Amino acid sequence: MKLLWRLYRRELALAWNGGGGPLLSVGFYAAVATLVPLALGPSPERLAATAPGLAWVALALASLLSLERLFERDFEDGALDLIALSPTPLEAVAAVKCLAQWTAVGAPLSLAAPLAAVALGASPSLAPLILACAAAGGLAFAFVGGTGAALALGSRRGGLLIAVVVLPLLTPPVIFGGGAIDAFAAHLPWRSGLLLLIAYALAAGGLAPLAMAAACRNAQS
């Protein structure tokens, strides 16, 4: 447990300080959100109708950005081999890495998501739900994205490959979160979407570490 806590602090420090950390992802997110009105035109009605969905999709994209270094860094400098030699199971290590990734990138992004949505014209009453969806969805994005990152170990063009592998798997959380936000905006029952999103995030948190550990062992062998 102590080992895992130390690993978490290490991962968090690396994700927070190395390679721009949350600033990079939030900056990317802000830039995408800025381009949206430039592409769609500044008409407030049109922006307001699309704002929550766009904020949500941009979030999924922004959470892909820093995945490439999640396992690759430790794989290249041999730290992953040392970690694999320790008595801690690789599954737990992978889960801790994803949690640290979520803390460093997903949590700041989920704070930025309601801001972006409201700035684009979404009703401020949506903000708490968008925050909740972004936090739960970010957890799913981190675990599913971590799976893609582990699978792409040792490949050429890792970053692009991770996006191609991960994006199709992100459809369910994007549907559930988008559905919940849409339903809330239309004054329909929205709880089921949020609950399904949380269920997906929890299932990903339980299952993805198995796939990540298998992928890491495969790349190391």
Partner 1 sequence: MLTALANPHRFMAFSRWAAPLLGAAAAAFLAAGLWLGLAAPEDYQQGTTVRIMFVHVPAAWAAMAAYACLGGASFFALVFRHALADAAAAAAAPLGAGFTLMALVTGSLWGRPMWGAWWVWDARLTSVLVLFLLFVAYIALRSAIDDEVKAGRAAAILALVGLINLPVIKFSVDWWNSLHQGESIFRAGGPTIAAVFLIPLVLMGAGYLLAFGALWMERTRAEVWRRRSQALAARAAFR
Asked if residue 33 lies in contact with residue 58, where contact means CB atoms within 8 angstroms, the answer is yes
Nearest approach in angstroms of CB 119 to partner 1 is: 26
# of chain residues touching partner 1 (CB under 8 A): 27
Distance (Å, rounded) from C-alpha 121 to C-alpha 52? 9
Asked if residue 150 lies in contact with residue 94, where contact means CB atoms within 8 angstroms, the answer is yes
Considering only CA atoms, which of 172, 189, 4 is closest in space to residue 83? 4
> Quick check: 107 binds partner 1 (CB under 8 A)?
no
Distance (Å, rounded) from C-alpha 198 to C-alpha 176? 9
* φ/ψ (deg, to 5) at 152: -80, 0
Residue 81 is classified by DSSP as H
Question: For partner 1, which residue of 154, 159, 184, 205 counts as binding (CB under 8 A)?
Answer: 154
Q: Which stretch binds partner 1 (CB under 8 A): 40-48, 61-69, 124-132, 206-214?
A: 206-214
Nearest approach in angstroms of CB 120 to partner 1 is: 21
Distance (Å, rounded) from C-alpha 80 to C-alpha 102? 20
Distance (Å, rounded) from C-alpha 2 to C-alpha 9? 11
Q: Which stretch binds partner 1 (CB under 8 A): 67-75, 105-113, 115-123, 210-218?
A: 210-218
Nearest approach in angstroms of CB 12 to partner 1 is: 26
Q: How far is CA 171 from CA 17, 36, 84, 99, 201, in A?
A: 30, 21, 32, 21, 12
Nearest approach in angstroms of CB 214 to partner 1 is: 5
Report the site for partner 1 in 110-149 (rule: CB under 8 A). Answer: 147
Question: For partner 1, which residue of 43, 86, 123, 155 counts as binding (CB under 8 A)?
Answer: 155
Report the site for partner 1 in 166-195 (rule: CB under 8 A). Answer: 167-169, 171-172, 175, 179
Q: Which stretch binds partner 1 (CB under 8 A): 22-30, 75-83, 89-97, 212-220?
A: 212-220
Residues that bind partner 1 (CB under 8 A): 147, 151-157, 161, 164-165, 167-169, 171-172, 175, 179, 196, 207-208, 211, 214-215, 218-219, 221
